[in-house]
């Protein structure tokens, strides 16, 4: 079942970036551009998480966040606050406000989706796991074991110097295995970073094209208006 996710933001670019990052198979996105509409719809939607822009029109994100966390039915709802890079936080309004994370724009949409999903699933997991019953003790009758006499190998200093069955591998071997594992992890992390950079680059390019088209449309509209006035 898909998680219900409320997106409260008036920027079409931010809305589209979030749409691209959150797969429809896992998230049901509900978009709002005004704070008043969200407060009316919260009880009907019952979201698993809310991404809330602090500078919303009419009722800002501070008021909505306080309203959300002030009701018992939304205590487990994850709350993420979105703010612009140069937008200052209002310390007075933030006082006592419960939230999971403050996200600064522009953000990495892929990492945001992963963080939101992890936070939702973390709150839905049981706080404690049921204790497993202890296994019953079983008594096994002792059996006679025939031991072979130790044989001395001239190539060794003494029979005791040879490794015995069941002993741990040498420490040097463990260190070598740990080094290989760390190297593999480093390679995987590097590949993940390269994929994230490529996705972010494509997203920025797309947003830039859309903004450029919008600016050109606005310029054409202004030219037409100026032509009519002349």
Give the residue-averaged pLDDT of 167-191.
67
Note whether residue 83 is domain-resident: yes
CA of 28: how far to CAs of 74, 87, 125, 223, in Å? 18, 29, 20, 41
φ/ψ region of 150 (left if φ > 0, alpha if ψ in -120 to 50, else beta) reads beta
115 and 12 fall within a common domain: yes
Q: pLDDT exceeding 70 applies to what percent of the chain?
A: 69
Top pLDDT among 191 and 187 is at 187
pLDDT tens sequence across 101-145: 999 888 888 899 999 999 999 887 554 444 455 455 444 444 444
Sheet holding 101-104, edge to edge: 27-32, 3-8, 49-53, 78-83, 101-104
Is the model more confident about 188 or about 157? 188
Same domain, 116 and 175: no
Q: Is the pLDDT of residue 150 over 60?
A: no
pLDDT at 176: 67
Q: What is the mean pLDDT of the chain?
A: 76
Are 115 and 17 in the same domain?
A: yes
Has residue 52 got a pLDDT over 70? yes
Give the structural domain span for 53.
3-124
Number of domains in the chain: 2
Q: What is the pLDDT of residues 70-109, one digit of tens each?
A: 889 998 999 999 988 888 898 999 998 899 999 988 888 8
Are 95 and 30 contained in the same domain? yes
């Amino acid at each position: 079942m898909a998680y219900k996710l409320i997106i409260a933001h008036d920027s079409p670019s931010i809305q589209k970036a979030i749409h691209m990052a959150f797969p429809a198979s896992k998230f049901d996105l509900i978009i709002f551009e005004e704070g008043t509409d969200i407060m009316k719809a919260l009880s009907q939607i019952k979201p698993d998480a809310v991404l809330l822009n602090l500078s919303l029109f009419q009722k800002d994100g501070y008021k909505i966040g306080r309203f959300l966390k002030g009701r018992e039915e939304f205590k487990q709802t994850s709350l993420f606050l979105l703010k612009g890079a140069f937008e200052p936080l209002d310390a007075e309004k933030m006082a006592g406000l419960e939230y999971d994370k403050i996200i600064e724009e522009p953000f990495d949409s892929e990492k945001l989706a992963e963080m939101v999903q992890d936070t939702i699933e973390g709150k839905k997991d049981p706080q404690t796991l049921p204790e497993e019953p202890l296994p019953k003790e079983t008594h096994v009758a002792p059996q006679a074991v025939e031991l072979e006499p130790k044989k001395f190998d001239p190539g060794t200093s003494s029979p005791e110097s040879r490794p015995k069955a069941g002993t741990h591998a040498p420490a040097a071997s463990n260190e070598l295995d740990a080094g290989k594992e760390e190297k593999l992890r480093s390679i995987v992390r590097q590949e993940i970073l390269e994929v994230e950079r490529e996705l972010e680059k494509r997203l920025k390019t797309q947003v830039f094209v859309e903004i450029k088209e919008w600016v050109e449309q606005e310029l054409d509209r202004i030219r037409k208006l100026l032509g009519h006035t002349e």
